[in-house]
Amino acid sequence: MQKVTVQALVDGGKASAGPPIGPALGPTGVNLYQVVQKINELTAKFKGLKVPVTIIVNPEDKSFEIEVGLPPTSALILSELGVEKGSKDAKQSKVGNLSMDAIVRIAKMKSEKLFANSLEAAVRTVLGTCLSMGVTVEGKNPKEIQKEILEGKYKELLSQA
């Protein structure tokens, strides 16, 4: 029999046997309690964030594997800020300010998933996400920071990676 793959977005450390996991895995006969317990164990470090997980079940022997992805860039930004939502009008209202150190930290976490060929490119991508969410960086519009990066202002910070 073919393996069953289920993808879900769960709260870090707080997955439950309810939707979306329970209904999707119930027909496979796998022990839901064990699956949920393992997901919570693997996602505990992402408490308060939505985390993508992939559950691969072998229905014949009821074994399972769990792959944990990284939370979306926007969720990591909100977590750094300690706020729940981005701005509804990013041009007019700002929800918070991040340091370049925080931007670099997020970019390092997400660099593989961003398909960026350098840390600088990953940082510029994260800055673009900040722009659309109404988040300033170092008290400035993220577009200004992107220009400063291209001018070489943050070369030292970006080379410490």
pLDDT in tens, the chain (161 residues): 689 899 999 998 999 999 989 999 988 889 999 999 999 999 998 888 889 999 999 989 999 999 999 888 998 999 889 888 887 887 888 899 999 999 999 999 888 777 778 899 999 999 999 999 999 999 999 999 999 999 999 888 888 75
Q: CATH number, domain at 40?
A: 3.30.1550.10
Taking a C-beta distance cutoff of 8 angstroms, is the pair 97, 138 a contact? Answer: yes
Task: Identify which of 17, 23, 26, 29 has the alpha carbon closest to the alpha carbon of residue 60.
Answer: 29
Taking a C-beta distance cutoff of 8 angstroms, is the pair 63, 104 a contact? Answer: no
Instruction: Give the containing element (helix H, strand E) for 30.
Output: none
Do 38 and 53 lie in one domain? The reply is yes
d(CA 66, CA 120): 31
- Final residue belonging to a domain, choices 68, 90, 111: 68
Do 84 and 140 lie in one domain? The reply is yes
Query: And the tokens for 74?
Result: 């926007």
Total number of domains in the chain:
2
Do 58 and 88 lie in one domain? The reply is no
Do 79 and 63 lie in one domain? The reply is no
Q: Enter the pTM of the model.
A: 0.74
How does strand 63-68 pair with strand 50-58?
antiparallel
- Concatenating the DSSP letter of every residue in 133-148 gives HTEEETTB-HHHHHHH
Taking a C-beta distance cutoff of 8 angstroms, is the pair 136, 96 a contact? Answer: yes
First vs last Cα of the chain: how many Å apart?
Answer: 45
Do 54 and 85 lie in one domain? The reply is no
- Residue 113 DSSP class: T
Q: CATH number, domain at 129?
A: 1.10.10.250
Do 96 and 145 lie in one domain? The reply is yes
Do 79 and 120 lie in one domain? The reply is yes
d(CA 117, CA 99): 23
d(CA 70, CA 91): 28
Question: What three-state secondary structure class fits 40?
Answer: helix
Give the range of the structural domain holding residue 126, as residue numbers without chain letter: 73-159
